[in-house]
Chain A
């Protein structure tokens, strides 16, 4: 039998062991931070020297050339609104086409990547690795490569978004498919239906609203992604943004940032409403 005092001792030991573990972890972290700080050329003096210029950067992008606050003259601030809105439209269209292409590819591949729909384990394995590869490589890297192959313009950007979306959506779709109720599938099989019948009449009705909801979420993410693909020459508003930042056109930087952020927020709000309706439908049925 443990006497109270030995139990207290055991408790004290357990606490001490945990403390040691925490200190050890902190020590390792501290050493790696020092090492990382050395490699990343962090210097406190450089930071302190420049923190003022960071604040003044924001002060400058909030002012027009004539020294007035940007709010005071919105017409002057958004002087290029026709061009910028067209570019923003192009960005949205890129995100849309890329998402749709990616969603279609994911729709085909997700059934091959789910264990309950495909018996051949090699097909499942190969499809999963393919999807993993397409979502692990960042889309801007795909865009860099595609810009060389397809030349500058929105096309390489769309393809980069499509491939990344295929990977990301394929995984999510496959997870949904693996969680479906298998009774309808058995029912279709029992009446002599083949694979496509199984997919169309037993699985799709169960997963369609989830698929649509994930695709909309992806669209939201792709709008953000499409806005920066222009940095590598793959179309959209990013190219113009890169130019105005590099050339220090301060007021234009803030105008474009406001345009991008507000568009992203509007899209977020819209897709969220549609998604709530879709998921609500699913719960009701």
Chain B
């Protein structure tokens, strides 16, 4: 035993051990050098990243005193949030109605965008588009719709239709149209074209090729994407009120400005609970749809 494993036998390290180390050193010289030439690019990048961070912290006024003071203030705010409390039953009713309005905005925005994106998705997909110019224009339009943040869309629609939930619905519609257009066209491109060939070979028109060849493959994918979007739109719909586009966000921002912290905590918890409820329901429906596809 001691002959095979000299270092594990309990006796002091022997000459064999030193020899083994020397052999290792000879075989992997780089790993015994500490910092070596191979590390230089990584070190340079790390130095650059750190330098930019320090510059940013300086430029953006992240002083120690400000952070420490702010953290103290934040701590006392958190203490004043406990326990979360709607204030009165009447107010709880108002919050529940605002949450319902938020859900309504999310539902309508998602649904309108899905319906509008459905035909547009076919125009933007390589295998079903009319011609390349149409495809290009459709895709770039989707990019621009997605590139503008939902809060910006909300502000623009407020200028057009005035404050209120309607502006929120239209804002969700705009940014979802970009997302759905992209996702739908990708799903259409990924569809298997053998069923299409089958329909065409029996003398079907190109419209019936889409209806009987592509749609049955597509529907479960699209529905599950729409459900997923509805879930994330519930989140978005709860913040667009901050700029005045309806929903619970308006209440939230007012409460923060007037420092009604217990009620604010209640509203935040209400939003989180609703979002996770929607999350749960959408997951259930999605699984049942995907299960249908597998059957």
Measuring CB to CB, which residues of chain A are less than 8 angstroms from any residue of chain B?
Answer: 29, 32-33, 35-37, 39-43, 46-47, 50, 53-54, 57, 90, 93-94, 96-97, 100, 133, 136-138, 140-141, 144-146, 148-151, 153-156, 158, 224-225, 227-228, 231-232, 235, 241-242, 245-246, 248, 257, 260-261, 264-265
Of B104, B272, B276, the residue contacting A40 (CB under 8 A) is: B104
Residue with the highest number of chain A CB atoms closer than 10 Å, among B101, B111, B144, B151? B151
* B59 is an interface residue with CB less than 8 A from chain A: yes
B77 touches A148 (CB 8 A): yes
Q: Which secondary structure dominates where chain A touches chain B?
A: helix
Chain B neighbourhood of A158, CB < 8 A: 60, 62
Nearest Cβ in chain B — how far from A234, in angstroms? 11
Chain A neighbourhood of B168, CB < 8 A: 40
B56 touches A96 (CB 8 A): yes
* B123 is an interface residue with CB less than 8 A from chain A: no
Of A47, A138, A146, A225, the residue contacting B70 (CB under 8 A) is: A146
Among B11-19, B126-134, B153-161, B195-203, the stretch that binds chain A is B153-161
- From known contacts A39-B100, A242-B155, infer whether A146 and B161 are also in contact, taking CB-CB under 8 Å: no
B104 touches A53 (CB 8 A): no
- From known contacts A138-B238, A141-B268, A228-B149, infer whether A36 and B108 are also in contact, taking CB-CB under 8 Å: yes
14 A–B contacts, CB within 8 A, in A order? A40-B108, A40-B246, A42-B108, A47-B161, A54-B157, A93-B60, A100-B49, A136-B276, A148-B256, A158-B62, A228-B149, A228-B152, A231-B242, A245-B155
A-contact 0/1 string along B158-188, CB 8 Å cutoff: 0111001110110000000000000000000
B160 touches A53 (CB 8 A): yes
* B239 is an interface residue with CB less than 8 A from chain A: yes
Taken together as a complex, chains A and B put the C-alpha atoms of A90 and B60 apart, in Å, by: 8
* B103 is an interface residue with CB less than 8 A from chain A: yes
- From known contacts A97-B53, A97-B57, A149-B70, infer whether A138 and B235 are also in contact, taking CB-CB under 8 Å: yes
* B204 is an interface residue with CB less than 8 A from chain A: no
Taken together as a complex, chains A and B put the C-alpha atoms of A39 and B159 apart, in Å, by: 21
A261 touches B60 (CB 8 A): no
B60 touches A141 (CB 8 A): no
Taken together as a complex, chains A and B put the C-alpha atoms of A54 and B166 apart, in Å, by: 13
Write the chain A residue with the least CB distance to B279.
A136
A-contact 0/1 string along B78-106, CB 8 Å cutoff: 00000000000000000000001101110
* B193 is an interface residue with CB less than 8 A from chain A: no
B165 touches A39 (CB 8 A): yes
A231 touches B243 (CB 8 A): yes
B103 touches A36 (CB 8 A): yes
Nearest Cβ in chain A — how far from B195, in angstroms? 18
A144 touches B252 (CB 8 A): yes
A42 touches B253 (CB 8 A): no
A-contact 0/1 string along B128-146, CB 8 Å cutoff: 0000000000000001100
B152 touches A257 (CB 8 A): yes
Measuring CB to CB, which residues of chain B are less than 8 angstroms from any residue of chain A?
Answer: 49, 52-53, 55-57, 59-62, 66-67, 69-71, 73-74, 77, 100-101, 103-105, 107-108, 111, 143-144, 147-149, 151-152, 155-157, 159-161, 164-166, 168-169, 235-236, 238-239, 242-243, 246, 252-253, 256, 259, 268, 272, 275-276
A40 touches B166 (CB 8 A): yes
A257 touches B166 (CB 8 A): no
- From known contacts A54-B160, A228-B149, A257-B148, infer whether A136 and B272 are also in contact, taking CB-CB under 8 Å: yes
Taken together as a complex, chains A and B put the C-alpha atoms of A55 and B275 apart, in Å, by: 34
Chain B neighbourhood of A35, CB < 8 A: 104
- From known contacts A32-B107, A46-B161, A141-B239, infer whether A265 and B147 are also in contact, taking CB-CB under 8 Å: yes
- From known contacts A41-B165, A144-B253, A148-B259, infer whether A33 and B66 are also in contact, taking CB-CB under 8 Å: no
B252 touches A141 (CB 8 A): yes
Of A29, A150, A232, A257, the residue contacting B66 (CB under 8 A) is: A150
B70 touches A97 (CB 8 A): no
B144 touches A261 (CB 8 A): yes
Taken together as a complex, chains A and B put the C-alpha atoms of A193 and B74 apart, in Å, by: 40
Chain B neighbourhood of A265, CB < 8 A: 143, 147
Chain B neighbourhood of A46, CB < 8 A: 161, 166
Taken together as a complex, chains A and B put the C-alpha atoms of A36 and B103 apart, in Å, by: 8
Chain A neighbourhood of B148, CB < 8 A: 257, 261
7 A-B pairs with least C-beta separation: A36-B104, A150-B70, A149-B74, A40-B165, A39-B104, A97-B56, A154-B60
Nearest Cβ in chain B — how far from A153, in angstroms? 6
Nearest Cβ in chain B — how far from A204, in angstroms? 12
Chain A neighbourhood of B149, CB < 8 A: 224-225, 227-228
Taken together as a complex, chains A and B put the C-alpha atoms of A138 and B152 apart, in Å, by: 16
Chain A neighbourhood of B49, CB < 8 A: 100
Write the chain A residue with the least CB distance to B157.
A54
Chain B neighbourhood of A228, CB < 8 A: 149, 151-152
B73 touches A149 (CB 8 A): yes
Nearest Cβ in chain A — how far from B260, in angstroms? 12
